[in-house]
Amino acid sequence: MLILETPRMVLRPLREQDAEAFSAYRSDPLVAHYQGWDAPYTLAQARAFIAEMSTIQPGVAGKWFQFALERKAVGGIIGDCAFIRLADDPQQAEIAFTLARTWQHQGYANEAVGRLLEYLFTSLNLHRVTARCDDENYPSVNVLERLGLRREGHQIENAWFKGSWGSEYQYAMLEREWWARQKGIQNG
């Protein structure tokens, strides 16, 4: 089983027991606002999602793999992060992430997504990692930019989303950019 550690969390596959917490934070309209699901997100939907995830191995091209974010000290999940290797080029992946509202603004997303990038670049040796976010999703923009992803695109009204046209930023990081950044961090 794939488990990644950070100072405050373990990133691990979702389990059946996570369904209630998963359904609760996905049902928060603020959390769902820029995401592909609608609130409320029922317990049955959560159970079905987790059951489907349990059949997927991490790193299979064309399939999202979701990590639950569990705080080490107390257990219970506070959010998730995910990646998908592109079906037509498995040297590239896209990432996504979500935190329950209670656990936002404490650096957990930064910590989890930073660890996910490390896994993708050092364990899977990927060439390039990308992310998309709505151009009004400032917390997501902050997470991506704080971790050093480059904004390389801005599509205007490219997505019909929850009843209106949304505009998205595209972000990316190359493996060599990730390594250069690690050297920079080590050298202070």
Ligand X SMILES: CC(C)(COP(=O)(O)OP(=O)(O)OC[C@H]1O[C@@H](n2cnc3c(N)ncnc32)[C@H](O)[C@@H]1OP(=O)(O)O)[C@@H](O)C(=O)NCCC(=O)NCCS
Q: Which stretch binds ligand X (CB under 6 A): 16-24, 38-46, 107-115, 180-188?
A: 107-115
Indicate whether 107 belongs to the interface with ligand X (CB under 6 A). Answer: yes
Under DSSP, is residue 147 helix (H, G, I), strand (E, B) or coil?
coil
Size of the site for ligand X (CB under 6 A): 20
Write the DSSP assignment of 126-143 as a string of letters: -SEEEEEEETT-HHHHHH
Indicate whether 40 belongs to the interface with ligand X (CB under 6 A). Answer: no
Under DSSP, is residue 57 helix (H, G, I), strand (E, B) or coil?
coil
Closest CA to 137 of 100, 99, 167, 107: 167
Minimal distance, residue 133 CB to ligand X, in Å: 4
Indicate whether 104 belongs to the interface with ligand X (CB under 6 A). Answer: yes
Indicate whether 97 belongs to the interface with ligand X (CB under 6 A). Answer: yes
**Could you give the C-alpha distances from 35 to 5, 66, 97, 100, in angstroms and in order?**
26, 15, 10, 13
The two structure tokens encoding residue 36: 């592909």
Indicate whether 99 belongs to the interface with ligand X (CB under 6 A). Answer: yes
Are the C-beta atoms of residues 64 and 83 closer than 8 Å to each other?
yes
Q: Which stretch binds ligand X (CB under 6 A): 11-19, 66-74, 137-145, 171-179?
A: 137-145
How far, in Å, CA of 70 to CA of 106, rounded?
A: 14
Indicate whether 133 belongs to the interface with ligand X (CB under 6 A). Answer: yes
Closest CA to 59 of 17, 112, 6, 120: 120
Q: Which stretch binds ligand X (CB under 6 A): 52-60, 102-110, 118-126, 177-185?
A: 102-110
Rule CB under 6 A: choose which of 139, 152, 154, 179 binds ligand X. Answer: 139
Residue number with CB closer to ligand X (120 or 133) = 133
For ligand X, the binding residues (CB under 6 A) are 31, 34-35, 96-99, 104-110, 133, 137, 139-140, 142-143
